[in-house]
Structure 1
Amino acid sequence: MNLEEVYKDCKAYLEGHFLLSSGKHSQFYLQSAKVLENPALAEKLCKELAKIISSHLVEFDSICSPALGGILAGYELARSCNKRFIFTERVNGDMTLRRGFEVKQGEKFIICEDIITTGGSALESAKIIENLGGIVVGFAALANRGFCAVKNLNTQAKTNAKLPDNIPLFTLGNFDFEIYDSEQCPLCKQGSKAIKPGSRGN
């Protein structure tokens, strides 16, 4: 599966000047919502991701995603694996588990995102699960932005990757985009202003 072609065909491979959720800037952005708006394609992608996880013999009970971006990918992956699905969300900036969701002692989870950049949001969700007595046995995403090590692609982590080394990450593909701190962003230096994805129709 050529994941780059999938994103381009869905007009989800954007070029411009973007402010990422991490606070960093990039010339490129992957708008996974445009990919996942097609239920048949979302099912196909997540079935493929489920096969990858299964081939690595990872045993788990449930899937948890950080809202908002990870919800569709996580739900479809859970459906493909016939597992329970829950999600965490931010309240006043802090990641929390709400809506009556519960975590059983010793329950094994995969944390699923649409896109993994440094892994910060996924790690916040993982800490919530672990604090409630769950066990995180893996991370998953449709794509990795080139910073975290991907088990099934044999890629190495970069220095700003936040995911733990001892828990595998599985993805369908890897996009190695440059990202910048705002102070060093060459696009900013050219006078361009970063926009947050989701604004201005992006």
Structure 2
Amino acid sequence: MKEAKVLKEFEKAGALLRGHFILSSGLHSPMFLQKALVFMNPKRTSRLCKALAAKVRDEVDDDIDAIVSPAVGGIIPGYETARHLGVPAMYVEREDGEFVVRRGFPLKKGMKVLMVEDIVTTGLSSRECIAAIKKTGARVVAAACLIDRSGGRANVGAKLVSLAQIDIPAYPASELPPELADIPATKPGSRGLK
């Protein structure tokens, strides 16, 4: 699937928002990808994750025993990508602020794991997820995401396969460009919701 088609899927879902947004990383951006609007449509999600699975097969030389994703945003694309790759899907959750493997997921030493994320901005949650996977003794063979909005600059701690790579600017609050500073900021993400 070409990058333009991936973005078209987000646009059709009403998930490509423009304005002034505070991302879960704390950075500010003129664009927000509201992936929940994409994931609410099973056929659209399946199309995207099938394409991601195909790209992973093309770009990752290792076998994959399982997929592990960070909760909450990575659970759906992780599951769907796992379905298309024919492997189990698991996820990590935050416990005392740190990602851990819970729920009796059978992640074992030596397993070859693909970490699947929804959207990568700074790569922080991907790095934290990968650290949790490594604590089990499993080996991360690569990471994958639907959209890498860093333009390829994010370091996730493993090879990153993205269905689309776009360069969406993100700024610290202290360095906002005037056109963004003049617009009230909203925080549409899920982090911090009660």
TM-score of the two chains, using structure 2 as the length reference = 0.89
Query: Where in structure 1 do 4 or more consecutive aligned residues deviate above 3 Å?
Result: 187-193
Equivalent residue, structure 1, for 2:124: 120
How far off is 1:108 after superposition? Answer: 0.7
Asked if 1 retains the 8 angstrom alpha-carbon contact of 2:113 and 2:139, the reply is: yes
Structure 1 counterpart of 2:134: 130
Name the counterpart of 2:147.
Answer: 143
Q: 1:162 aligns with which of 142, 148, 155?
A: 155
Q: How many residues align?
A: 186
Select 2:27's aligned residue among 21, 24, 47.
24
1:80 aligns with 2:84: yes
| Matching residue within 148, 170, 186 for 2:177 | 186
Paired residue secondary structure (1:11):
coil
Residue 163 of structure 2 is matched in structure 1 by 172
- Please provide the CA RMSD for this pair: 1.8
Deviation at 1:105, TM superposition (A): 0.9
Identity, % of aligned positions: 38
Gaps of 5+ in 1: 149-156
> Separation in 2 of the partners of 1:97 and 1:187?
43
Deviation of the 1:92 alpha carbon = 3.1
Question: Contact conserved, 1:17 with 1:187, CA < 8 A, in 2?
Answer: no
TM-score, reference length from structure 1: 0.85
Question: Structure 1, residues 123-166: CA drift from partner, whole Å, max 9, x if none?
Answer: 10111111110000010011110243xxxxxxxx3xxx2323xx
Q: 2:65 aligns with which of 49, 57, 61?
A: 61
- Residues 75 and 85 in structure 1, CA contact (< 8 A), matched pair in contact too: yes
AA in 1 matched with 2:159 = P
* CA distance in structure 2 between the partners assigned to 1:90 and 1:192 by the alignment: 33
Gaps of 5+ in 2: none
Is this contact kept in 2: 1:118–1:147, CA < 8 A? no
CA distance in 2 between partners of 1:90 and 1:32 (Å): 20
Structure 1 position 189, deviation (Å): 7.1
Give the whole-Å Cα distance in 2 for the aligned partners of 1:187 and 1:110.
40
